[in-house]
Amino acid sequence: MKPNIEDKATITVQEALNHYCLSPRKFYATLHLPGLSFVVFYYDGRRLIIREEFEKYLAEHPELR
């Protein structure tokens, strides 16, 4: 059984898109902006998202939805 997203400290890009009902076009464009505190680069260039930091960012930028 997979852990609940609220129990995870980091989530994948796909999990963020699905869980927060985001626009893929806007979200992928946002991921390329410099200085984002919620994006962590993992091995092989894979991006992980710090869930709590991302939720703070979403509260300040509701246009991503």
Q: What sign for the dihedral angle of Cα 57, 59, 63, 65?
A: positive
Residue type, 29: A
- pLDDT for res 65: 83
C-alpha to C-alpha distance for 53 and 36, rounded to whole angstroms: 9
Q: pLDDT tens digits, residue range 2-48?
A: 888 999 999 999 999 999 999 999 999 999 999 999 999 887 888 99
Q: Is 50 helix (H, G, I), strand (E, B) or coil?
A: strand
> Is the distance from CB of 22 to CB of 16 less than 8 angstroms?
yes
